[in-house]
Structure 1
C-alpha cells in the first residue's frame, strides 16, 4: 500500500514541474517520496527526481495516493480494492459497480494516468522510448495491463453476475489477474472477439501476448508479459 506523504513532501509534490513532473527538494524529502512510490530517481546524470503516476495523481487531485494492488503470491488471485478508497487505480475487472464509473470524469482520469505512464517510460528508458513497459509497470503487472486496456476504451467486467460491458460489445468485459508465471498476467474476456481486441491493445502498448486454453474449463484467455526490447 502506498504511504501518504508528509506535509513537507506534499509541498514538494505540489511544486513539481507541471509538464515533466521534475521535483526539487532536500535529499531526505526526495528519498521519502521514492520510498512511498510517488517519485523515482532518473538513472542518467544528473539523476533528477520525477513524479510517478501515483505522484502525478496527488499533484492533480490534491488527495491521497493511489492504492495499488500488491503482486499476489504465485497461485493467488488479485482482489480488486474498493474504488472509493483510491484517488486513481486502473480497474482490473470484478470491482463493485461505482456511480459514474464510465463518466467523463473517469475518462479524464484514465487518460491522464496513461499519459503520465508514457512520460514515466520516456524518463526511465535510456533511449527515451515510450513503446515498451517500464520498471514501474513490471512491478505492478496487473494494474499496468489493466490501465492499458481501460485507456484504450475497453470496459472492465463488473462484479460476479453483472455483465458490465454489453454497451460497447465487450460482453462481460475484461478481467486481469496475476499468474504463477513471472512477469505475466492473465486476461480473461467474454468471447474470442473481445480477446482479439485486447490482444491488439496490449501489443500496441508494448506487451507480448499469447492465447491459451484453461485445462479444465477449456475457456480461452490471454497471457501477457511486458516486452523488454
Structure 2
C-alpha cells in the first residue's frame, strides 16, 4: 500500500490553487511530490508544478486522524462554485471577481492538460468534479444560483457516471443555462421529470 503523504507534503497539497492545482514550495519538496506521483512539472516555462489526479484525491480525502466536522465553505478560504440552494449565497463585486478568477484558472488548466492545449472542452479535473465544474461555468456566465429566498439554477449529481442535472423554475433561464454549458464544452439534452413534468437539463463533459 502506498504510504500516505507526510504532514508537510499534505500542507503543500492543501495549499495548492483550488482550481488549477498549482503548487508552491521548495524544489526539493516539489520533487518529492513528483516522485510519489502526486504532482507533475509542467514542461513549458516557468515549469510550475501542479497536482496530478492522485494529488487532488489526497487533498479531498479526509485527514487520517480522529474524525472532525468539515469546515463550512465560507470559513475554509477555498473558492466554491454555487450549485444552488445555499443558505446565504455570496454576491457583490468581490464574489464576481472570485468567480472570474476561478473561471480563468480553469481555462488555463484546460490549456495545460488537454491534448493540443484545447480550452473548448472540459479537462480531467472537471470530469472528477462534475457538479462544481458545471456550476462554475454557469456562475461565470452570469446565471444566478437558487437561494433560500430566490429562484435560480440548481446543479445536482445523477446516477449516470459523467452527467449532472440542471434544474430551475424558469424554462427560459433553463434553456439559457443549456446554451452556456454547450458553449463551455458540455453536451446537453433537455428532459422532463416523468412524475411532475418539470423540465431539466442533463449535461456531460464533451470529449472531442
Matched residue, 2:85? 94
User: Which of 108, 125, 139 is the aligned partner of 2:114?
Assistant: 125
- What RMSD over aligned residues (CA atoms) do the two structures have, in Å? 3.4
- Aligned-residue offset at 1:41: 2.6
Q: Compute the TM-score of the two structures, normalised by the length of structure 2.
A: 0.73
Q: Compute the TM-score of the two structures, normalised by the length of structure 1.
A: 0.67
CA distance in 2, matches of 1:31, 1:222: 42
Gaps of 5+ in 1: 53-65, 69-80, 164-171
CA distance in 2, matches of 1:7, 1:45: 24
Gaps of 5+ in 2: 52-58, 62-70
CA distance in 1, matches of 2:108, 2:207: 17
User: Is the Cα contact below 8 Å between 2:12 and 2:23 reproduced in 1?
Assistant: no
Matched residue, 1:135? 124
- Aligned-residue offset at 1:198: 0.1
User: Is the partner of 1:92 in helix, strand or coil?
Assistant: coil
User: Is the partner of 2:117 in helix, strand or coil?
Assistant: coil
Output one character per residue of 1:94-147: Cα deviation in whole Å (capped at 9) or x when no partner.
01114xx11111111111110110000000012111000000000000000000
Matched residue, 2:75? 85
Matched residue, 2:67? none
**Count of aligned pairs between the two proteins:** 179
- Aligned-residue offset at 1:44: 7.1
CA distance in 2, matches of 1:49, 1:181: 35
Q: 1:67 to 1:7 in 2, by over 3 A?
A: closer
User: Is the Cα contact below 8 Å between 2:41 and 2:50 reproduced in 1?
Assistant: no
